[in-house]
Amino acid sequence: MARLAYIAALVAAISPAAALQLADVVATYGLTESYNFTFPTQALSGSEADNWILDKWSINSQHGISFGKEDIAFVADPSAPLTRRDADAPDLEGRADVLAAKDNTPVLRIEYPKGSYSAGTGGTQFYAQPLNATSQSQNIFPNTTSNGQFERMLLSYDVYFDDFFVFNKGGKLPGLRGGPDPIGCSGGHQAVQFKCFSSRLMWRDGALGEVYAYIPTSQKNFCSTLDVVCNNDFGTSLGRGKYSFQTGRWQTVWLYVALNRADIANGVVAFYYNGTKAFEFKNLEIRNSDTVESIGGVYFSTFFGGYDSTWASPVQQFSYFRNMQLYAGLGAANGTGNRISAATVAQPSILLSAVLASMAIALAGGAML
Ligand SMILES: *[C@@H]1O[C@H](CO)[C@@H](O)[C@H](O)[C@H]1NC(C)=O
Ligand SMILES: *[C@@H]1O[C@H](CO)[C@@H](O)[C@H](O)[C@H]1NC(C)=O
Ligand SMILES: *[C@@H]1O[C@H](CO)[C@@H](O)[C@H](O)[C@H]1NC(C)=O
Ligand SMILES: *[C@@H]1O[C@H](CO)[C@@H](O)[C@H](O)[C@H]1NC(C)=O
Ligand SMILES: *[C@@H]1O[C@H](CO)[C@@H](O)[C@H](O)[C@H]1NC(C)=O
Using one digit for the tens of pLDDT, what is the confidence trace for 181-237? 998 898 766 655 569 999 999 999 999 999 999 999 888 899 999 999 998 777 999
- Determine if ligand 5 sits within 6 Å of the CB of residue 251: yes
- pLDDT (tens digit per residue) in 117-148: 998 899 999 999 999 877 665 556 766 778 88
User: Which residue's CA lies nearest to atom 8 of ligand 2?
Assistant: 60
- Determine if ligand 3 sits within 6 Å of the CB of residue 336: no
The CATH number of whichever domain residue 236 belongs to comes to: 2.60.120.200
Which whole number is the average pLDDT over 89-101?
53
Classify residue 105: in a domain, yes or no.
no
Tell me whether strands 209-214 and 124-128 are parallel, antiparallel or unpaired.
Answer: unpaired
Classify residue 361: in a domain, yes or no.
yes
Classify residue 40: in a domain, yes or no.
no
Amino acid at 248: G
Amino acid at 240: R
Tell me, what DSSP letter sits at residue 220? T
Beta-strand runs (E) in 19-147: 33-36, 65-67, 72-75, 107-112, 124-128
Q: pLDDT grade, residue 104 (50/70/90)?
A: confident
- Determine if ligand 3 sits within 6 Å of the CB of residue 256: no
3 state SS of 115: coil
User: Which residue's CA lies nearest to atom 12 of ligand 2?
Assistant: 132
Say if residue 276's pLDDT is above 70: yes
Contact in structure between 205 and 168 (CB atoms under 8 Å): yes
Range of the domain at 360: 17-33+117-367
Q: What is the DSSP string of 225-239?
A: STTEEE-TTS-EEES
Classify residue 84: in a domain, yes or no.
no
CA distance 243 to 124: 24
Classify residue 96: in a domain, yes or no.
no
The number of the ligand 3 atom at minimal distance from the alpha carbon of 335 is 1
Classify residue 3: in a domain, yes or no.
no
User: Which residue's CA lies nearest to atom 7 of ligand 5?
Assistant: 250
Sheet holding 228-230, edge to edge: 65-67, 124-128, 295-304, 170-178, 197-204, 209-214, 236-238, 228-230
Question: Residue 323 class from Cβ within 10 Å (0-12 exposed, 13-18 middle, 19+ buried)?
Answer: middle
Classify residue 288: in a domain, yes or no.
yes
Amino acid at 43: A
- pLDDT (tens digit per residue) in 339-352: 997 554 333 333 33
User: Which residue's CA lies nearest to atom 3 of ligand 2?
Assistant: 60
Question: Residue 205 class from Cβ within 10 Å (0-12 exposed, 13-18 middle, 19+ buried)?
Answer: exposed
| pTM of this structure | 0.84
Amino acid at 162: D
CA distance 143 to 334: 7
Classify residue 164: in a domain, yes or no.
yes
Beta bridge partners of 269: 257, 281
CA-angle at 218, arms to 215 and 224, nearest 5°: 95
Identify the nearest ligand to the CA of 126 by its number. 2
Number of folded domains in the chain? 1
Which whole number is the average pLDDT over 257-282?
97
